[in-house]
Amino acid sequence: MKKRTEISALGEFGLIERLMGTVGDDAAVIADGRNFSLLSTDMMLEGVDFDLTYFPLEHLGYKAVTVGASDILAMNGLPGRVLFGLGVSAKLSVEDLEQFYAGARRACSELGMEIAGGDTRASVTGFAIAVTTFGTVPKARIVRRSGAKEHDLICITRNLGAAYLGLHLLEREKRALREVDDPQPRFAGYEYLLERQLRPGARKDVVDALTGAGIVPTSMIDISDGLASDLLHICRASGCGARIYLDRLPIAKESYALAEELNIDPVVAALNGGDDHELLFTVPLGLQERVVQLGVGIEVVGHITAAGTGAALVTPDGSSIPLRAQGFETV
């Protein structure tokens, strides 16, 4: 009998490594004279990455551009064009797709991007979205996952876990309202969390601010899988360890409030929640004050350590908890 390894046995990154030989950066790099072209593809699948019962199509289009642009920004690049490959089920109307494109256009306009084309196919199953993003970066300014050095500061932007908690809120309301005739979801006070899930913005402002200040991070990644998983990518690619400090993790007050209500650990949400599309990057130790003062919500949460020291979360009492990547479940 043919050998059969379940994909879940390898995990998402184990699978990519096995298939591709390497996990690589957020975008493919195409060398072309003084500039590099950057290219990334992301898949977003109904039932896995979004639920159309509560995800408005306009927001989905907006988020698709954010997801793609974040990959380019994570290489310190300027996202320029986006192409959509859509698998469209008969459930969706033309107006639905116009809503999708309206949201995508709004995100593009905010980021100075353009929709360059794509492909649309009928789907017999759910709505499938492939987002391809093209960008450029001057050769001297490209940032990869592999450049972090011992003693570098670990920086993250804005706050973490909010998108994950927003998703939990939407799922709770979906369950609660299933049996109700005239549903009125109760989201009051948590609008911020919904926005972080349904309409996250790509952090072009952060890359612009770093560029304006003449700062080139030593490594960078888009936080899409959660801080723990994405920091482990940096450590692995750079051949280093990391220490991040629990009391430094930026978590929004709305995240604390909902986490308590839902009985979720807000730190777990911040470490493993994913979908935040904030940036995680490292800079040399001497730049601490300058990055914090850029005014774009950069927080220093830890530092890079020597190879072989592992990656860990340090609690206020000084104990170290090893960071683990989240699993990858095929369903």
**Position among 52, 56, 110, 123 found at the interface with its own copies (CB under 8 A):** 123
Residue 30 sits in the site that holds its own copies (CB under 8 A): yes
Contact 62, 17 (CB under 8 A): no
Question: What's at 265, amino acid-wise?
Answer: D
Residue 312 sits in the site that holds its own copies (CB under 8 A): no
**Position among 52, 110, 115, 177 found at the interface with its own copies (CB under 8 A):** 115
Q: Which of residues 236-255 bind its own copies (CB under 8 A)?
A: none
Q: CA separation (Å) from 296 to 17, 104, 116, 184, 278?
A: 34, 24, 29, 35, 11
Residue 24 sits in the site that holds its own copies (CB under 8 A): yes
**Position among 56, 58, 112, 132 found at the interface with its own copies (CB under 8 A):** 132
Residue 52 sits in the site that holds its own copies (CB under 8 A): no
Residue 271 sits in the site that holds its own copies (CB under 8 A): no
Residue 3 to residue 312: CA distance in whole angstroms = 36
Q: CA separation (Å) from 236 to 232, 274, 325?
A: 6, 19, 12
Residue 39 sits in the site that holds its own copies (CB under 8 A): yes
Residue 229 sits in the site that holds its own copies (CB under 8 A): no
Q: Quickly list DSSP for 12-73.
A: HHHHHHHHHSS---SSEEEEETTEEEEEEEEEEEBTTTB-TTTS-HHHHHHHHHHHHHHHHH
Residue 182 sits in the site that holds its own copies (CB under 8 A): no
* CA 113 to chain CA mean position, Å: 19
User: How near is the Cβ of 90 to its own copies at its closest, in Å?
Assistant: 4
Residue 86 sits in the site that holds its own copies (CB under 8 A): yes
Task: Write the Ramachandran bin of 45: left for phi over 0, alpha for psi from -120 to 50, otherwise beta.
Answer: beta
Residue 130 sits in the site that holds its own copies (CB under 8 A): yes
Q: Looking at beta carbons only, is 117 or 183 nearer to its own copies?
A: 117
Residue 10 sits in the site that holds its own copies (CB under 8 A): yes
Residue 263 sits in the site that holds its own copies (CB under 8 A): no
Residue 174 to residue 42: CA distance in whole angstroms = 26
User: How near is the Cβ of 202 to its own copies at its closest, in Å?
Assistant: 16
Give the CA count within 13 Å in the CB-facing half-sphere of 145.
23
**Position among 78, 92, 227, 287 found at the interface with its own copies (CB under 8 A):** 92
Residue 146 sits in the site that holds its own copies (CB under 8 A): no
